[in-house]
Amino acid sequence: MRLRLNRFSAVLWAVVLPFAIIAVQAQAKKATDDQERKESYAYVLTMDKIYKLGEVRKSLNDWLENNKQTSKKMDEDKSLLHGTLAHRARTLDINYPQFAAIIHKEGLSTREYLLATHVLLQSIMLADAKKEGDTQDYSKCFEDVSAVNLEFVEQHLEEIRKNFQDTTRMRM
């Protein structure tokens, strides 16, 4: 009887444990997502930050243009597309130190560069959608974009666009 109980217990743990682990991981991911959403919402854009992002973008584009193999490797690196901001920043810092050094040269951490870029792009998308009266498709953006950043981007949209055009070179 005791042997059966031990077997049943072992089988039960073998079935339940993976689901418990998945539930804990999902809860941790939700907490991280919530934390990053709060951080995105709290981040405040300024023209000084926009100009810094532009200088970083220009330098990165030039560097990538001159380092085709690294550029190709980065394009294929799936870890740069998924995971938390901290994970992606760590990947850039460790696997692409020259790339990260360009960001740091402008006084930004790699993580802040990723965060600021995310907030800026979300704000631009929402401002454009609002301008077109098409906010329904971008309702998720409302969670990450504060009213302060939306108003800022709406007021400076043309200047921001010009900065993007001046500092971004198309890569083929």
Structure confidence at residue 22 as a pLDDT band (50, 70, 90): very low
Q: What's the confidence (pLDDT) of residue 19?
A: 44
Output b/e per residue, 12-28; b: 16+ Cβ within 10 A: eeeeeeeeeeeeeeeee
- Rounded distance, CA 135 to CA 129, Å? 5
Type of residue at 116: A
Type of residue at 34: D
4-13, 16-25, 41-50, 84-93, range with the lowest pLDDT: 16-25
pLDDT tops 60 at residue 70: yes
Domain ranges of the chain: 1-38, 43-167
* Residue 63 contacts residue 99 (beta carbons within 8 Å): yes
Torsion over CA: 52, 120, 46, 156 (sign)? positive
